[in-house]
Amino acid sequence: MTLFRQLYSLLFGLFLLVITSLAYVQFTETKSFLSNQMESDLNNVSNSLGLLLVPALESGDIATAETLINVIFEGGYYQQVKLTWLVDGKQQEWNNSLQIKDVPQWFIDFGIFGTIKKETTITSGWLQLAQLEITAHPGFGYHELWRILTNTIIVFSILFLVTIFLARFGLSWILKPLHILSVHAKSVANRQFGPELAVPKTQELREVVTAFNSMSVQLKQIFSSLDEEVTSLRKKNLVDQVSNLPNRQYLVGRLNSWLSEPGSGAMFMAKFDWLEEVHAKYGYQVRDETIKLLSEKLQSQLEEIAPGVVARIAAFEFAFLVFDVDKELISKYLQTLIRTVNQEISKAGGKANEQFAIGIAERIGSMTASDMLAQADNALQNAIKSGKVYHWFESNEEQLFTREQWREKLSSAINAKLFQFRWQPIQLSDGAGLLQRELYCQLEIGDKLAHAGQFMPYVELLSLGSVLDKCLIQKVNDIHLLTRNFEPLAINLTHQSLTDTEFHQWLQQFLRSTPLAERLCFDIPESGVYSNPEACEALCAIIRDNGARFGIDHFGRQFGSMSYLQTLRPAYVKLDQSFAYYDENQHNAELCRALVNVAKGLEIQVIVTGIQEKPQLERFIPLKTTAYQGFIAPPVAVD
């Protein structure tokens, strides 16, 4: 029971006790007063009637005596009158069958008033003439007592209702700081730290609120320090200090993560010898400043072409990863890169298309990070030897379709829901079963079955992401996939769905209409959170408010603050696959441990991805992560 209800109940009980006590006192006093009044009235009537009857009794005039008694008897509340003539013993009796009006019979049946009688001997001098006995009728007492009690109950009821209302309002006003404190405490429990609470005027509450504000500030500082630790470790271990670009260690981890998932793209490796000439002419300070300006230009110009990573891997060497693009976009990316470099060379006083070389390697089939790095480096060396600006190792694989053919065929296949599904179990680390299953899909395009690595680049390129997600979710519902297992089903959302308000509205209607919303999980890429936090927050609110769950995929991949976890409050995070071999590098191990601690501190489940074998999994035991997934338990076809 809440404190408000306890105090309210106490006041209610005390007031009820007071009202009952007052009602009891009022009842007993009124009863005593009415009894005394009826007895006094009976005495007066008995004395008066005795004096009036003396002449009639002396003369033996029975008619006159009866007349006098009838006048008195009919004009008051008397139940019986008995007159006994002492001369001859004759007895006369008058009875009244008076009905008590406006008083319920059950009240009369209580017998509150007893029988009140008055016996009087009528004398004339020393001569006793008659014996007079009068019995009072209780109707007057019942009538007056009922009237007084009903009026008292009405007044007390009105007073009771007014007092209870005022008590409720007063308690709400007095305990308002406690209610605010309770709401704030729930927010803090969810690791949401708002502004400090206003200190109330009540002394006791002031001390509680002050202590709570102090605790809240300390907790906020703890989580801020964890976030700062992650940022510091990233900057120290994964960022080149001169260019502020990712370094070689980050590039290799990201490359491993990218190649472990279906996808397409290319890797560029560039060597800028003109930077060495800048160093020789102007010194290392000018060289470092030139590198910094070049890095800023490369990032701003290339991000507009395609998503990717720009890294500095050596003194004068840079590497570029481009994800989910076709050859046309790779070519455009290369042209933009060359143009940007030439602009910076001109600013440094050099000649265009001189003293730099670029090697390009396309992603072909199943490649390892070593394969990709070796092929890009070979392409770079070929460019240097031949004196060309770039050398491109193009894939010999023929593209299935042109871009417009992809648009037509993808739109047709997606709208027809020609999906084939596989799902991968996500095992609980304590061996207690499955946390969820992650869903993967393939598309039947014509007479071929295309895997995600083939069609997803074109889905993103042609802005078909929200259509794909919508049709995929509908297909899952149509084939009753959620009823086949008790574990929740995790579905990856595309970047377009994160920002598409129409998809948000559709998803809200879908979740409201399905009785199995609690079995749905949605994986949101961390890059989408950083690119549009407001849209992601709106989508996450829809998912959470309608009973489904969501998590952050590729957690730890992006550079930036982890404060979005407090805002979005995901149910789980999936560590980026670049951390799968975290113990092979001590610095990476520190960063991985810090990321896990940040999530666990916010009571968010941590799922390790990219686990291939048991020894690899055992390295994560000290971190106490929630679950794991990878080819240690590969995806299986959904029958």
pLDDT of residue 201: 63
pLDDT beyond 70 at 90: yes
Of these ranges, 1-10, 310-319, 360-369, the one predicted with the greatest mean pLDDT is: 310-319
Percent of the chain at pLDDT > 90 equals 34
As a whole number of angstroms, the distance between CA 537 and CA 349 comes to: 48
pLDDT of residue 32: 85
Please identify which residue in the block is written with the tokens 């230009």.
297
Q: Give the residue among 167, 227, 159, 183 at the shortest CA–CA distance from 5.
A: 167
Give strand pairing partners of 78: 136
Average pLDDT estimate for 596-618: 89
Here the tokens at position 212 are 């709570």
Query: 255 and 557 in contact (C-beta within 8 Å)?
Result: no
As a whole number of angstroms, the distance between CA 584 and CA 166 comes to: 69
pLDDT beyond 70 at 190: no
pLDDT of residue 503: 96
Identify the residue with better confidence: 475 or 12. 475
pLDDT beyond 90 at 327: no
pLDDT of residue 587: 62
Side-chain-side CA neighbours of residue 263 (13 Å): 19
pLDDT of residue 629: 94
Phi, psi (degrees; rounded to nearest 5) at 379: -65, -40
Query: What is the DSSP secondary-structure string of 8-29?
Result: HHHHHHHHHHHHHHHHHHHHHH
- Alpha carbon 537 to its chain centroid, in Å, reads 12
As a whole number of angstroms, the distance between CA 613 and CA 610 comes to: 9
Average pLDDT estimate for 521-531: 93
Average pLDDT estimate for 608-637: 90
How far is CA 428 from each of CA 215, 437, 446, rounded to the nearest angstrom? 33, 11, 39
Query: 81 and 42 in contact (C-beta within 8 Å)?
Result: no
pLDDT of residue 475: 94
pLDDT of residue 79: 77
pLDDT beyond 70 at 179: no
Tens digits of per-residue pLDDT, 534-579?
999 999 999 999 999 999 999 988 888 888 888 898 999 999 988 8
pLDDT band at 446 (very low <50, low <70, confident <90, very high): confident
pLDDT of residue 573: 96
Here the tokens at position 160 are 């009771």
Per DSSP, the three-state class of 449 is strand
As a whole number of angstroms, the distance between CA 608 and CA 369 comes to: 20
Percent of the chain at pLDDT > 70 equals 89
Average pLDDT estimate for 24-43: 82
How far is CA 425 from each of CA 105, 386, 617, 626, rounded to the nearest angstrom? 78, 50, 15, 14
Strand 572-575, strand 605-608: pairing: parallel
Could you tell me the pTM of the whole model?
Answer: 0.70
Q: Which residues contact 402 (CB under 8 A, 6 or more apart)?
A: none
Tens digits of per-residue pLDDT, 150-176?
888 888 788 878 887 887 777 777 767
Tens digits of per-residue pLDDT, 36-51?
888 888 788 888 877 8
